[in-house]
Amino acid sequence: MARIVLFDAGVIGLLCLLPDDPKVIPGRVWLARLITSGAEVMIPDITDYEVRRELNRLGTTAKLERLESLRDELITVAVSSEAWAKAAEFWAIVRKAGRPTADRHALDGDAILAGVAATTGSPGDEVMIATTNVGHLARFSGVDARRWDAIV
């Protein structure tokens, strides 16, 4: 049984902070503990996209380099056809319930990340999303979203 931790954009954004930023130290210590514990730590491509587009917009070269370093260090996971289908299902369910996580015209990264989480791993694996925004991701039934610093 594998323990899989998928990163949301807020967590990756934190880990891309410059080394002298005091907010990054707890995140880096936490990440090292996760890796040491044997967890499979993954950056979904949708998360990379969300963080990368903003770093490109801001022109923050050092943070983009840190993102590349994290991609080299961790496992990356593509959005599969199965994940896209599950994301579309999640998007429709929360929209019908009147609890959307994005504008109706938006692609909705949270629904896509939830779709990735729902289709990653094998039966019996523990799959969770490490996030800074549990509220949005908790709307997707069967998806285990936890505040990043609560995952030990």
**pLDDT tens across 58-98, in order?**
999 999 999 999 999 999 999 999 999 999 999 999 999 99
Domain holding 38: CATH number? 3.40.50.1010
Tokens 């730590």 map to which residue? 41
Domain count, the chain: 1
Tokens 């959005």 map to which residue? 79
- Domain containing 70 equals 3-150
Burial class (CB in 10 A: 0-12, 13-18, 19+), 49: middle
Q: CA-CA distance, 152 to 147, in Å (whole number)?
A: 11
Does the structure show a pLDDT above 90 at 100? no
Q: Is 46 left (phi over 0), alpha (psi -120 to 50) or beta?
A: alpha
pLDDT at 23: 86
